[in-house]
Structure 1
């Protein structure tokens, strides 16, 4: 009997090579071709032509990362049958000067031409409907681009950091523009939206939504002063990012919502007037505005979010109104010129003293101004030093921590390079991570007997720290607590948990200072006499002075028990004589 074998239809999924040494590689499903790369791309290929067909099959797509980092490639011609240019297809082809895109391409996928730094212009055919996220981002030489009527969507960051791009026209068919689509284009002075567009509009080169209630993008090359028009109720995330020529901004009172990082890295911004409708200064709103000199937060603002003014290195003063009830982490972090933070007296949540920001009852020190210098004594009411409270305060040379402080927050004194010594009181229970990290001028630290835990890298990078003296038992250590610390750990006789090393540092045992027994002091048999108490085998030096300024050693003795008697037959030769033991 003859058996009929079933006929199988096979689909070729393996890459094939054209018969040439330097050739396109591709895959096929026996219906169409996807270009996957180029053999010899690393050997200096400068020109690539992608045909309309290969082996009779239409070439419809360029695959993911097909020509990734082909740094010698200068020219590419894409056949007219192509419909898709894939993710990162020409990413980092930084010698490319010409890209001829076929007239049937529908999709330019995410990051397709990312970081093509030599590409001066590109013509997008009137077939493309989608320009993906970051499609031309960081193509620094791109100065000319035409967005045809066919495009309906421009993705997130599509032209971000295209520094040479001076203008762009948005057709009336575009219904989606992703966040940061034209952000940090610091040569751009004009964004024009055609009047028939149903979703967007523009005025004076600025991109808005259709009804101009949301400001979406301020062109990065515009400069001088700008007043946000009345009627605008919100500003999109990063709308003014990297607008380096912008010097002054006045917000309309209609504005209620600020997006995150709205004015991020506006290095020319010197002043800003916050409108009466704003409730929230969002995360990073003014961060890295390195020329912003002062800021007043009006009473209508209720929240200042994380790092809102971080790295504003010229900011000298900040005034916080009555309405603020939340200040996020690092809101004024690394403001290295800031000398005064003033809080309105009626504020229910916060207060200030001598330019320092506290919570209302001044039990938590939130922010020491980054431009503060010299010595600082915390109020006795402080029980908590907040995270990063003194971070990067390079001018701080000494700080007095009061006896009631219980916790020292993460990074509380990180990079305080002028700080030379610190005494941590017995009330402190824990020293948090990197609390004193990279304090490169710190030489001596004393740690009270209440500390039971020192967290990771608390003193890491303190490269001149030579003396750490502990008054209590050895605290539990996190990782890398003393990385790059060159010194020794000193601890007292009678405390526990110590070994030959501690956290990788050598240890030295100390004796408690000797005491002069107050109930056995006086003249006996013509000699002045008193009893000294200490620890067996402790060496004691007795010093004398006539003026409490100049001290001279007059007796050295090693205890054989816990006390010894001292007599001074010469005491009567002085009008007054004082004693101390060490």
Structure 2
């Protein structure tokens, strides 16, 4: 028997292709004998198989865009990579019981495929096996499957539910990315890792439970899951990757497990409904933009273990009213608290040596600031902090002048409400610029005991020197 029997002739009624037609006619129906392929045959509508066919090689029916149905015989035990990819008219297909592996991208782009049955014999689903099967509404993965490849169900936008077998040890990269109709999924207890972008843009997913053996939630794992309201986290998680929950705009609360040591870049970026979060004691660094845009966040507890608050970490957390930076933090990055417009007070411990550019810019409600003695302050760190009426420093802080210089230069009337200066002992004669409403100056020793005022310490006799004082609004 030949590779296929052609049941398609030219329009002039004879049995041969007319060379004047400009092409050789492609078959509409064929009998497949196990060799050759029909790659990109957009005329093929029906295929039958010769007896004894055991395999369908790579790319055999790839791009057969008019093929609507196919019955694979029970003799077939192997289906190659891309074998039926982009058969975008195919609505249903059977996989025989003898098949043990569904190859890489075997059914990719079968956009009309609504249902498929995977037999119990299958143990492996390859990378991208059902990628972009956008009409697939349900699929049952048999219990014997131990590996689901990266991108396996990416773009299956009609898939509403799926159960992952207990033998699967990890969920690979982008496995369910873009499954926008997926409302529920059960992650089995055997899973230890959720791969990068595994559930990205699963817009309908409302809740998920992370089992106890999971240690890693990788970059972008739940990126853009905008309906996700609740996450039950495993105590075993030690790493939350960059952008892991970015754009989860319905998420109101989350518990970060005690074992987590690093919160990745943008991990909770624009989780705009998140109202409170507790960062566990083991965390040493808060990644860039980790909580940026969490506009409903009202309270943040930063543990003593944190050594660095990176750039943009809490940028535009516009509902946070107060925050305490623990002893041990050495660096506050650029834009770290930029636009925290409800923040009224902040204490920066002595351990902090560097505050980055624009770190507290546009904190328009900030009224009280306590600074460490040796801090280096970046340009415009406190620009547009128009409500600031109390600041603390001492005479060993040469860069505090820059802090107020930038602010006063742009907002010269801001300090007019200050009526008194409370200076550390030995610093009362270090005032460079006087607030317009200043009436008196008091000295305070380093131990906090006030020194008696001298008669010369009145508003008209205060010398102009460097700004290294504590301001009090009385």
Same fold flag (TM > 0.5): yes
Matched, 1:560 2:463: yes
The equivalent residue for 1:215 is 125
Q: Is the 8 A contact 2:263 2:286 kept in 1?
A: yes
CA pair 515-434 structure 1, distance change in 2 beyond 3 A: closer
**Residue 169 (structure 2) pairs with residue 256 (structure 1):** yes
Alignment of 1:49-128 (within 5 A): 78=23, 121-123=42-44
Length-normalised TM-score, structure 1: 0.49
TM-score, length of structure 2 as denominator length: 0.58
Other structure's SS at 2:161 match: strand
CA shift at 1:559, angstroms?
A: 1.0
Structure 1 residues 393 and 497: CA distance shift in structure 2, 3 A = closer
Measure, in 2, the Cα distance between the counterparts of 1:152 and 1:270: 31
Aligned to 2:231, what secondary structure does the other structure show? strand
**2:295 and 2:317 in contact (8 A); partners too:** yes
* 1:454 correspondence with 2:356: yes
Q: Determine the structure 2 residue equivalent to 1:538.
A: 434
1:453, 1:283 → 2: CA distance? 32
CA distance in structure 2 between the aligned counterparts of 1:426 and 1:324, rounded to whole angstroms: 26
Superposed CA offset, 1:221-250 (max 9, x none):
2325x5422212121222222333332322
Q: Deviations over 1:243-292 (max 9, x none)?
A: 33332322332333433222222222222222333333222222222222
SS at match of 2:160: strand
CA contact (8 A) 1:541 1:581 kept: no
Q: Secondary structure at the match of 1:243?
A: coil
2:316/2:341 contact within 8 Å kept: no
Question: Residues 290 and 143 of structure 1: is their aligned pair in 2 closer, same or farther, counting only changes over 3 Å?
Answer: farther
Match status 1:189 vs 2:85: no
Show structure 1 runs of 5+ residues with no match.
Answer: 1-50, 54-75, 83-98, 100-105, 114-118, 191-204, 342-354, 520-530, 544-554, 563-579
The 8 Å contact of residues 187 and 220 in structure 1, kept in 2 or not, is answered as yes
Q: Which residue of 2 aligns with 1:159?
A: 86
Is the aligned partner of 1:267 residue 2:267? Answer: no
Separation in 2 of the partners of 1:380 and 1:232? 39
> For the structure 1 residues 155 and 430, does the alpha-carbon distance in structure 2 shift closer, same or farther, using more than 3 Å as the test?
farther
Q: Do the aligned partners of residues 329 and 473 (structure 1) sit closer, same or farther apart at CA in structure 2, a change above 3 Å counting?
A: closer
Q: Which has the higher contact order (CA 8 A, sep 6+)?
A: 2
Counterpart selection for 2:204 from 291, 294, 315: 291
Q: CA deviation at 1:411?
A: 4.6
CA apart distance, 1:393:
1.8
Aligned pair partner of 1:394 in 269, 282, 295: 295
- RMSD, aligned α-carbons: 6.0
CA distance in 2, matches of 1:406, 1:300: 28
Q: Which runs of 5+ in 2 are unaligned?
A: 1-17, 29-35, 48-55, 73-77, 441-457, 466-471
Alignment correspondent of 1:316: 229
C-alpha separation in 2, matches of 1:395 and 1:500? 29
Instruction: Measure, in 2, the Cα distance between the counterparts of 1:125 and 1:250.
Output: 33
Question: How far does the alpha carbon of each residue in 1:455-499 deviate from its partner, in whole angstroms, 9 at most, with x for none?
Answer: 8xx769x8x66799895665467xxx99xx984899989624977
Q: Which residue of 2 aligns with 1:495?
A: 398
1:515 aligns with 2:422: yes
Q: CA deviation at 1:502?
A: 10
Matches within 5 A, 1:127-526: 131=59, 144=67, 154-155=81-82, 158-159=85-86, 162=88, 166-167=91-92, 179-183=104-108, 185-190=110-115, 205-206=116-117, 211-216=121-126, 217-218=129-130, 219-224=133-138, 226-341=139-254, 355=255, 357-360=256-259, 370=271, 373-374=274-275, 384-397=285-298, 399=300, 405-414=306-315, 416=317, 418=319, 428-432=329-333, 435=336, 439=339, 448=348, 450-452=352-354, 454=356, 474-475=376-377, 487=384, 495-496=398-399, 514-515=421-422
Q: Distance in 2 between matches of 1:504 and 1:374?
A: 31
Structure-2 residue corresponding to 1:526: none
User: SS where residue 246 of structure 1 aligns?
Assistant: coil
Distance (Å, rounded) in 1 between the aligned partners of 2:229 and 2:375: 43
Paired residues, number: 390
Structure ID, larger Rg: 1
SS in 1 for 2:188: coil
> Whole-Å Cα distance in 2 between the matches of residues 241 and 376 of structure 1?
31
CA distance in 1, matches of 2:125, 2:245: 26
* Distance in structure 1 (CA, Å) of the matches to 2:407 and 2:434: 27
Q: In 1, Cα distance between the equivalents of 2:319 and 2:167? A: 46
Indicate conservation of the 8 Å contact 2:355/2:375, yes or no. Answer: no
SS at match of 2:155: coil
Deviations for 1:138-183, whole angstroms, at most 9, x for unmatched residues? Answer: x9xx56478999x9965499529x5x65346899xx9997634534
